Amino acid sequence: SGFGLFAKIAAGGGVVRAIPAPGAGANPRSFFDKMNEWAREQGAGGLGYITFDAEGPKGPIARNLEADRAEAIRAACGLKAGDAVFFTAGKPAEAAKLAGQARLKLGHDLGLSEKTGFRFCWITDFPFYELNEETGQVDFSHNPFSMPQGEMAALEGQDPLTIGAYQYDVVCNGYEMASGAIRNHKAEIMVKAFGIAGYPPQAVEDRFGGMLNAFRYGAPPHGGMAAGIDRIVMLLADEPNLREINLFPMNQQGEELMMGSPSPVEEARTRELHIRTVMPPAKGAAGPKAS
C-alpha cells in the first residue's frame, strides 16, 4: 500500500478490509461524515473511503494513494463512476467485525438490501483454537467438546491455530438460525485437546471425569444442532428484532417488566449459597484509601 497508515497496520500484522458501496459516491460529504461518526460509536477510529466519478478517484485516501493502486482497488471491487468503497483496518478479527457491520449498514442506508425472500447458507470450518490476546496462549475458539478436524493426527502434527473444528451454523438473511457440531467421543482426543489449551490431564479428569468415563465405555459418534425458534419466527413475521415476537420481552436493561425480574434476593437465601451482593460505588464517592 502507498497509503502510510494502511501500510503501517499491515506491517504490524493487521489487515485492511474493503467494503464496496455501489451508488454511494453520489452522496454529499455529510453521508461519509455520518458513516465515520457511526464507526466511532462502534469503537473504531473511523472508516476510510474512496469515491469514484468520471474524473477518477476522490477522497482523503485517494489523495495519498497512487492512481494505479486506486484503479486496482476499483477493479477488484467491481465499482464504476458513482460508486464508493469504504475501508476498515486493524487486527484481523476487529477489522472483519467492523467490515461486516458496515456492510449491513450500507446495505440498509443505500437501499441495497433485499427486502423479500429467504437466503440460506451454511457456515463451516470454524477454527478449533484461537490465540488469547490477554494471555498470549492458545485457547479454545468456541466449543471445546466438538471433534477437531483430523482428530488425533491433527492435534499431534499441526499448528494448533490451523486446526479446524466440526462445527457449523445455518444462517438465513444474516441471522444465525441454528448451530451445532459433531461432538468428540474419544477420551484420548479430549485429554490431548485440552492439554494443548493448557489443561493438565488431572485437571481434565477432575472437571470432566463423568464424560471421559462415558467415552471410555464406548460412546458412539454423535452430533446435532439446535434451532433458534424465536429467530425463525422473527424472520417469518418480518419483524426487526426479537423483542417484537417474544410474549414477555426484556427491555434494553435486561429487565422483564411483566414478572418484575430480576428482583432482590433475601440475604438469608444468598448466605445459604455463600453469595454476597457487592454494589458499585456511588458516583463521586471516594475509593478505598491506600493503607
Please spell the DSSP secondary structure of 195-212, one letter per residue. Answer: HHTT--HHHHHHHHHHHH
Q: Where are the alpha helices (DSSP H) in the chain?
A: 4-11, 29-41, 60-63, 67-77, 92-109, 151-157, 187-196, 201-216, 229-236, 267-272
pTM of the predicted model as reported, rounded to 2 decimal places: 0.74
Q: Are strands 15-21 and 84-90 parallel, antiparallel or unpaired?
A: antiparallel
Q: Is residue 168 part of a domain?
A: yes
Range from 86-95, 207-216, 253-262 carrying the lowest mean pLDDT:
253-262
Position 281 in a domain: no
CA dihedral (139, 143, 147, 152) in degrees, to 10, reads: 10
Asked if the structure places residue 224 within a domain, the reply is yes
- The three grid cell numbers given for residue 35, joined into one nine-digit string: 458513516
Q: How many CA atoms lie within 13 A of 173 on its CB side?
A: 15
Could you report the per-residue pLDDT of 198-216, keeping only the tens digit for each? 999 999 999 999 999 999 9
- Residue 210: closest CA among 182, 192, 190: 190
Burial of 127 from C-beta contacts in 10 A (0-12 / 13-18 / 19+):
middle
The two most distant CA atoms of the chain are separated, in Å, by 75
15 and 101 share one domain: yes
Helix (H, G, I), strand (E, B), or coil: what is residue 264?
coil
Q: What are the pLDDT digits (tens) for 137-156?
A: 999 999 999 999 999 999 99
Residue 289: the pLDDT is: 54
Q: Which domain holds residue 136?
A: 120-230
* Domain final position from 109, 139, 164: 109
Residues 35 and 124 in one domain: no
Confidence of residue 291 (pLDDT cuts 50, 70, 90): very low
* 186 lies in some domain: yes
Q: Which of 6-20, 151-165, 261-275 has the highest mean pLDDT?
A: 151-165
Specify the pLDDT at position 204. 97
* 136 & 223 share domain: yes
Q: Among 176, 206, 230, give the residue marking a domain's end.
A: 230
Whether 135 and 93 map to the same domain: the answer is no
**Residues 15 and 93 reside in one and the same domain:** yes
Co-location of 64 and 147 in the same domain: no
End position of a domain, from candidates 82, 109, 136: 109
Based on the fold, state whether residues 142 and 209 are members of the same structural domain.
yes
Domain count of the fold of the chain: 2
Residues 169 and 189 reside in one and the same domain = yes
| CA terminus-to-terminus distance, the chain | 54
Are the beta carbons of 87 and 18 closer than 8 angstroms? yes
Averaged over 218-230, what is the pLDDT? 94
